[in-house]
Chain A
Amino acid sequence: MHIVVLTKPVPDPAAAAERLGPDMRLDRAASPAVVNGNDEYALEAALKLVEAHGGEVTLLTMAPPSGADTMRKALAMGATRGVLVTDPALAGSCVRSTDEVLAAALRELTFDLVFSGFDTSDGTAGVVGAAIAARLGLPYLSNAARIEPDPAAGRVRVRRITPTGYDVLEAPMPALVVCTQVLGEPRYPSLKGIMSARSKEIASRSLADLGLDGGTVGGAAATTEVLDSRKPPPRGATTVVRGTAEEGAAAIVTLLASRRLI
């Protein structure tokens, strides 16, 4: 079974140093990059499935050349290889360009399933998976809490979380699945994984390789423009409530009442 996982390098949220440069694009020098947290959950789910059913996991990323370094961290978790779509013309891409480029890259690959994370911690649009499914005409299985492929039958069954419970969906493969954190904590790479990731293949693809034109995708063709970006105001002072559970509850009720919240 072949699974492609979409992984994006994002500024490490823990560093809290994410900021835009004067060109209103992400200042990549300001913050260390990590694999987008939700993508790691998708990768973990994919790794578990190939461990159970056999097969390979390919990572697909659209990023500047430095994205290869971040991709090594995901390869260390156990993915087989990576494909990095990188082209100077892609700087400043909007969501529409991103999904068009990734869809083009997927057309070159053979796969049974494509996994995407729920959203990314920097862009947070959360539509790339859906857009790719639409472009490639793949069945779209979102909010997955459980993924059960049946390679022999060529079908996949997904438990999709809904606001009131869950649905069980089934679709023919290949299909695109949007993964959630319910699927399980991403593994911590072993040292052997880190070592072997150093020599794993990362294939680089330019727009020309994918048969795309820098005039129709990428920064030049962006459909949205960032005008301003602001940080939320810092949190106010914290009130710590001490004492027994009863005392604590009473104090919290009083506090909430004083703010007219209850």
Chain B
Amino acid sequence: MFPAFAEVPAYPLVFAVFWGAAAYFALAMARHLRIFAAARAAGPSPFSSIPARTLGLVRYAFIQTKMFKDWRAGLMHFGIFWGFVLLTIGTANAVTGGIIQAILSAPFDGFIWAAISAMQNVVAVIVLGAILWAFERRLISKPERLTYSRDGLLILAMIGGLVAAEFFAQVFEIAAFGDVPGAFIASFLATPLGGVDHGLLAAAFGILWWTHKVIVAAFLLHLPGSKHLHVATAFFNVYFRKLAPRGELPVMDLEAEDATFGLRTLQDLGWKDMLDGFTCTECGRCQEACPAWNTGKPLNPKHFIMGIREMSVEAEHGLNLIPNSPLVRETYGLDDTVHADRLAKPIVDDAIPFDAVWDCVTCGACVEACPVLIEHVDKIVGLRRNLVLEDSRFPTELNGAFRNMEGVGNPWGQPPASRLDWTKGLPFEVPLVADVAARGELAQLDVLYWVGCAAAFDERNRKVARAFATCLDAAGISFAVLGQEESCTGDPARRMGNDYVYQMLATSNIETLNRYRMGEKTIVTACPHCFNSIGVEYAQLGGRFRVVHHSAFLKELLADGRLRVVDGDGGSRRSVTLHDSCYMARYSGVVAEPRDVLGAVPGLELVEMEKNGKNTFCCGAGGGRMWMEETRGTRINASRTDQALATGAGTVATECPFCMTMLKDGLEAAADANPGGEVRAIDIAELLAESLDPIQPARFSGRELPILQ
């Protein structure tokens, strides 16, 4: 009846074994979905952005680009994944009575099936090699990021076992019953078995063939409760990934009646957040990249996501595999819906400790590192929102920052009247937008320079503002600032969970910018956090503005020949390393621009840190950490300073006022590694301004430049 499996003892049993296990698998997965159904927050729509989502599936699930950031592990995983997929053709054929083989053998005289068999032979050897490699990692070399559990070893043993059983079953099949077309490696291995007793060979074949099927069935039974679930969920998690810009936090309706503000319990999550939990495979790439975890803080992004998964599993505990029908529920009073009290458990202090919620710098290194596109940061900010807006539970230092932002429009609590102090003594005028508008000259304005609170109030960063304004003036750019009409964009408030203060500041800034029709102009800023708020996030509140980071703007000015630097004397070169801002490099992909600016400065030689570009390591000030004490673990800025000093560079270039403050402090504190504070943090605009030619192209400016500092 099944010619392809005529030699398999008790072949028809395979339908019961496999399809029984498959049915259990389907029901157990459906049970996970019942938790998803309890999610109150919306998830992504399956019908939107289908081309982008499909492309993502190809890129991240099938080509697995993120996995290759660790290319050794990536290669191993790629081998196991594709091997597993290709070998599944054989398994699928075996559990369907050989129908696939029958169909594919029909044309070309069985050539297609023979080719598949040949390929499967090769793949089996590759997978076995990769499995051995994986065992080596789990048992011998033991990279720190992995979670070591029996489950991990069991899964490897199962995959290795089933591939080996299937492969060697074929070896004995060939030895006992004659050649299998295409299975050249198995044939080769079967040659020495030529003289062995036929009965023995047939028995070995039968045992191994069944071993393979039993392991496959066991795998299906084990998978729904295993950390290896990602083989089923990763495709969906990748497909439904966050498509909004990295720096855009979920929108929040503060007027919603009876709503929970932010994330409190499992139910406040969206189903995609729960899927994140069921997709995590504890590979630990997030923890390896996390600046908080790397400096000994309690925050571990992997533990957080696994914690959400554990809460979900706990919530579905006791649910029947097959849900009771409404009739059974009513007739016998057998309510088997998800326990409300299990869903009502707060996430904070269950999936993640309270302190860890506040350790996050929102740098997005975890999100960038995750091969299956789990979103950690949005959830952590969601938890902060609930703690701040409902419970007023947050590190006490934030009290002042919140009040200052709300009261005087900047987290430092500086008087707004001093917003223009940085312009004092500059040899050119820094006009106010209000004055330009009053003169009716807004049309002639090239750009609005959004100064930002740090550059307006912080002594060190004021110098950056002066240098950048000098570049603008030298290039003959007609620019203006808002002065006292500018206030904090609200980024720190938003990242610290205070969307109330954020929306208050954002709404007022949008009003101001719209009053001067800045939606039609370019806004340039040297602050990546202002850049992200105004350029990316204000759109949620109806403010659409084109914002350019000063690195990109200066690059353009240089490329257009509007700025001229002095000729290098060709002499000794100064080495400089660039600290990428998380919000520019990782959030917005601005990586080349600051390097282009540095490349234009004569005599500078760029030495990269190991973690640069999109893999940059946070300075420690993001996510509102600028206004919190760093009491747990060691200091993040000290860690980054060490990385910068390890390059041997004489200067650390920055492109963000917060990074500037953190690295300046770090470099000054690194007494041993940086004697005399010789290595300093300098903004790219300052490095450029220092080397501007005193005589700029006359058609633009024609004025002699001031000597800075």
Give bound CA distance, A189 to B390, whole Å: 9
Give every chain A residue within 8 A of B12 (Cβ-Cβ): none
A15:B390 contact, CB within 8 angstroms: no
**Chain A nearest CB, measured from B463 CB (Å):** 15
A16 contacts chain B at the CB level, 8 A cutoff: yes
State which of A34, A185, A189, A244 has its C-beta within 8 Å of the C-beta of B407.
Answer: A34
Give every chain A residue within 8 A of B413 (Cβ-Cβ): 14
A17:B407 contact, CB within 8 angstroms: no
Given contacts A187-B392, A189-B392, contact A16 B417 (CB under 8 A): yes
Interface residue tally for chain B (C-beta within 8 Å): 26
A192 contacts chain B at the CB level, 8 A cutoff: yes
Give every chain A residue within 8 A of B392 (Cβ-Cβ): 187-190
Give every chain A residue within 8 A of B399 (Cβ-Cβ): 185-186, 188
Given contacts A15-B407, A17-B415, A32-B408, contact A244 B671 (CB under 8 A): yes
A242 contacts chain B at the CB level, 8 A cutoff: yes
B408:A12 contact, CB within 8 angstroms: yes
**Chain B nearest CB, measured from A248 CB (Å):** 12
Give bound CA distance, A16 to B254, whole Å: 31
Query: A-B pairs with the 7 shortest C-beta distances?
Result: A16-B415, A191-B389, A14-B413, A14-B408, A188-B392, A15-B408, A12-B407
A32:B407 contact, CB within 8 angstroms: yes
A191:B261 contact, CB within 8 angstroms: yes
**Chain B nearest CB, measured from A57 CB (Å):** 17
A194 contacts chain B at the CB level, 8 A cutoff: yes
Proximity bits, B530-571, A CB within 8 Å = 1, else 0? 000000000000000000000000000000000000000000
Give bound CA distance, A194 to B390, whole Å: 10
Give every chain B residue within 8 A of A190 (Cβ-Cβ): 388-392
Given contacts A185-B399, A242-B668, contact A192 B390 (CB under 8 A): yes
Within 8 A of B (CB), among A166-196: 185-192, 194
B residues adjacent to A (C-beta < 8 A): 254, 261, 388-392, 394, 396, 398-399, 402-404, 407-408, 413-418, 500, 668, 671, 677
Give bound CA distance, A16 to B418, whole Å: 10
**Chain B nearest CB, measured from A14 CB (Å):** 4
Given contacts A188-B394, A191-B390, 9 further A-B contacts (CB under 8 A): A12-B407, A14-B404, A15-B415, A15-B416, A16-B418, A190-B391, A192-B390, A242-B668, A242-B677
Give bound CA distance, A15 to B500, whole Å: 21
Give every chain A residue within 8 A of B389 (Cβ-Cβ): 190-192
**Chain A nearest CB, measured from B184 CB (Å):** 69
State which of B254, B391, B396, B415 has its C-beta within 8 Å of the C-beta of A14.
Answer: B415
B415:A194 contact, CB within 8 angstroms: no
Q: Is chain B's binding surface mostly helix, strand, loop or mixed?
A: helix
Within 8 A of B (CB), among A207-235: none
Interface residues on A, range: 10 to 19
Give every chain A residue within 8 A of B394 (Cβ-Cβ): 188
Q: Which of B396, B408, B413, B417 has the most chain A CB atoms closer than 10 A to its own CB?
A: B408
Q: Whose C-beta in chain A lies nearest to the C-beta of B413?
A: A14
Give every chain A residue within 8 A of B388 (Cβ-Cβ): 188, 190
Q: Whose C-beta in chain B lies nearest to the C-beta of A192?
A: B390
Give every chain A residue within 8 A of B402 (Cβ-Cβ): 188
Give bound CA distance, A10 to B2, whole Å: 91
Q: Whose C-beta in chain A lies nearest to the C-beta of B262?
A: A191
Q: Which of A12, A34, A189 has the most chain B CB atoms closer than 10 A to its own CB?
A: A12
Give every chain B residue within 8 A of A244 (Cβ-Cβ): 671
Give bound CA distance, A187 to B254, whole Å: 20
**Chain B nearest CB, measured from A42 CB (Å):** 17
Give bound CA distance, A192 to B398, whole Å: 19
B408:A194 contact, CB within 8 angstroms: no
**Chain B nearest CB, measured from A197 CB (Å):** 12
Give every chain A residue within 8 A of B261 (Cβ-Cβ): 191-192
Q: Whose C-beta in chain A lies nearest to the C-beta of B407?
A: A12
Give bound CA distance, A222 to B671, whole Å: 61
B500:A194 contact, CB within 8 angstroms: yes
Give every chain B residue within 8 A of A189 (Cβ-Cβ): 392
Give bound CA distance, A169 to B407, whole Å: 37
Given contacts A187-B392, A192-B390, contact A14 B407 (CB under 8 A): yes
Q: Whose C-beta in chain A lies nearest to the C-beta of B390?
A: A190
**Chain A nearest CB, measured from B340 CB (Å):** 22
Q: Identify 9 residue pairs between A and B in the complex whose beta-carbon atoms are under 8 Å apart, listed by A's number.
A: A12-B407, A12-B408, A14-B407, A15-B407, A16-B418, A32-B407, A187-B392, A188-B399, A242-B677
**Chain B nearest CB, measured from A184 CB (Å):** 10
**Chain A nearest CB, measured from B599 CB (Å):** 33
Proximity bits, A234-255, B CB within 8 Å = 1, else 0? 0000000010100000000000
Give every chain A residue within 8 A of B407 (Cβ-Cβ): 12, 14-15, 32, 34
Q: Whose C-beta in chain B lies nearest to the C-beta of A40?
A: B403
Q: Whose C-beta in chain A lies nearest to the C-beta of B385?
A: A191
B391:A185 contact, CB within 8 angstroms: no
Give bound CA distance, A192 to B385, whole Å: 12
Give every chain A residue within 8 A of B408 (Cβ-Cβ): 12, 14-15, 32
Give every chain B residue within 8 A of A187 (Cβ-Cβ): 392
**Chain B nearest CB, measured from A41 CB (Å):** 12
Q: Whose C-beta in chain A lies nearest to the C-beta of B417?
A: A17
Q: Whose C-beta in chain B lies nearest to the C-beta of A77?
A: B392
Give every chain B residue within 8 A of A32 (Cβ-Cβ): 407-408
Give every chain B residue within 8 A of A192 (Cβ-Cβ): 261, 389-390
Give every chain A residue within 8 A of B396 (Cβ-Cβ): 185
Give every chain A residue within 8 A of B417 (Cβ-Cβ): 15-17
**Chain A nearest CB, measured from B424 CB (Å):** 13
Give bound CA distance, A9 to B532, whole Å: 36
Give bound CA distance, A58 to B396, whole Å: 26
Q: Which of B261, B392, B413 has the most chain A CB atoms closer than 10 A to its own CB?
A: B392
**Chain A nearest CB, measured from B581 CB (Å):** 26
Within 8 A of B (CB), among A26-53: 32, 34
Give every chain A residue within 8 A of B414 (Cβ-Cβ): 14
Proximity bits, A1-29, B CB within 8 Å = 1, else 0? 00000000000101111000000000000
Q: Whose C-beta in chain A lies nearest to the C-beta of B254?
A: A191
B500:A191 contact, CB within 8 angstroms: yes
Give every chain A residue within 8 A of B671 (Cβ-Cβ): 244
Give every chain B residue within 8 A of A185 (Cβ-Cβ): 396, 399
Q: Which of A16, A185, A194 has the most chain B CB atoms closer than 10 A to its own CB?
A: A16
**Chain B nearest CB, measured from A62 CB (Å):** 22
Give every chain A residue within 8 A of B418 (Cβ-Cβ): 16
Q: Whose C-beta in chain B lies nearest to the C-beta of A242?
A: B668
